[in-house]
């Protein structure tokens, strides 16, 4: 059967290089919990996070992502918990992921902690056939993709201090076939492996100026290795300016401002370095994070992550 679905799938594979299986973020260092459940509770405060990303503006059917999460440590225990919701729209598809995270942390040295985490996810996948105009409106394979439910499970480890972190995670261990034609998967959610790390350098003795390089590597079977490299500068614990490069894909500019001790706002802009640059005006990403600290205190060292 030949429908616009196949053209959409082919276009998606061509444009994304098969790399964008999960939603991608330019400011991944603030949104780690969506890829690594061991991050839950690591900031030592009740942290509420909301993000909106519109990718490849001007290109019809381009990805659009909304993310919301909340995570916190449990009193003075070693346990952290989190809950997140991600809505990802690409062309005629609309996907919602509701995830619950649980972490357990041990002290490995006076400065560093090691956290282990598990993630349980409920996925709802919807295909709007009205945007496809298939030859056979009654094709049951299309009807099966109306709010189709699938469960998943993931895990991660996260080693961190106030100045450094490194994490390894697999958010989803179960591969899901979204559409099969003669037992061949046409649209398939594959396993993604993430490696993330960063370090904060103090550039002066008063710690007014800080510099943090960071990297995110994503490995997916059948796709090129995706590497995001970023550098950020923080001034007087309030202002953040940075830049990033997604290998063979895009360059980015980032800015952030610590409005109050608990409220932080960040913005990122991407520009493609591929031929896609001729068909869109870039990608925009904005997020807000609010944190509740015990006894109205604040974090000893404001962090980039």
pLDDT at 182: 52
Domain count, the chain: 1
300 lies in some domain: no
Domain contains 170: yes
* Higher-scoring residue by pLDDT: 91, 122: 122
User: Can you give the CATH number for the domain in which 258 is found?
Assistant: 2.40.160.40
Q: Residue 31 domain-assigned? A: no
pLDDT of residue 299: 52
Would residue 159 count as lying in a domain?
yes
| pLDDT band with cut points at 50, 70 and 90 for residue 300 | very low
Query: pLDDT tens digits for 206-227?
Result: 888 999 999 999 998 778 889 9
* Cβ neighbourhood burial of 2 (10 Å; 0-12, 13-18, 19+): exposed
Is 30 within a domain?
A: no
What whole-number distance in Å separates Cα of residue 262 and Cα of residue 270? 27
Residue count of the chain, please give it: 305
Best-predicted range by mean pLDDT (4-8, 134-138, 200-204, 298-302): 200-204
Burial group, residue 216, by CB count within 10 angstroms (0-12, 13-18, 19+):
buried
pTM: 0.85
Give the pLDDT confidence of 76-92 residue by residue, as tens digits: 899 999 999 999 999 88
Residues 44 and 297: beta-carbon distance below 8 Å: no
> Tens digits of per-residue pLDDT, 7-38?
444 344 444 434 346 788 999 999 999 999 99
Q: What pLDDT score does 107 carry? A: 96
* Whole-number Cα distances in Å, 25 to 11, 133, 148, 173, 179: 21, 32, 25, 20, 26
User: Which range of residues forms the domain containing residue 88?
Assistant: 36-292
Instruction: With respect to residue 189, please indicate whether it lies within any of the assigned structural domains.
Output: yes
Poorest-pLDDT segment among 1-10, 76-85, 195-204: 1-10
In a domain, 9, yes or no: no
Domain-located, residue 144: yes
């Amino acid at each position: 059967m030949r429908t616009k679905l196949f053209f959409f799938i082919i276009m998606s594979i061509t444009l994304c290089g098969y790399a964008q299986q999960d939603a991608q973020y330019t400011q991944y260092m603030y949104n780690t919990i969506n890829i690594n459940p061991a991050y839950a509770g690591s900031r030592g405060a009740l942290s509420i996070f909301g993000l909106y990303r519109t990718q490849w503006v001007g290109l019809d059917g381009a990805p659009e992502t909304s993310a919301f999460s909340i995570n916190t440590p449990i009193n003075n225990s070693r346990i952290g918990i989190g809950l997140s919701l991600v809505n990802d729209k690409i062309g005629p598809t609309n996907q919602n992921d509701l995830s619950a995270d649980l972490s357990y942390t041990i002290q490995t040295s006076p400065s560093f902690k090691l956290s282990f985490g598990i993630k349980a996810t409920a996925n709802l996948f919807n295909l709007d056939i009205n945007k496809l105009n298939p030859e056979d409106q009654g094709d049951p394979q299309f009807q099966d993709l109306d709010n189709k439910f699938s469960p998943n499970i993931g895990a991660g480890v996260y080693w961190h201090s106030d100045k450094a972190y490194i994490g390894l995670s697999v958010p989803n261990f179960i591969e899901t076939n979204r559409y099969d034609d003669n037992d061949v998967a046409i649209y398939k959610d594959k396993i993604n492996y993430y490696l993330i790390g960063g370090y904060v350098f103090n550039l002066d003795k008063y710690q007014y100026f800080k510099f943090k390089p960071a990297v995110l590597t994503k490995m997916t079977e059948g796709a090129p290795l995706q590497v995001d490299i970023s550098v950020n500068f923080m001034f007087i614990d309030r202002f953040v300016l940075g830049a990033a490069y997604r290998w063979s894909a895009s360059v980015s500019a980032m800015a952030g401002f610590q409005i109050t001790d608990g409220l932080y706002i960040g913005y990122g802009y991407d520009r493609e370095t591929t031929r896609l640059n001729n068909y869109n005006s870039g990608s925009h990403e904005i997020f807000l994070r609010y944190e509740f600290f015990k006894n109205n205190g604040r974090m000893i060292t404001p962090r980039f992550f």
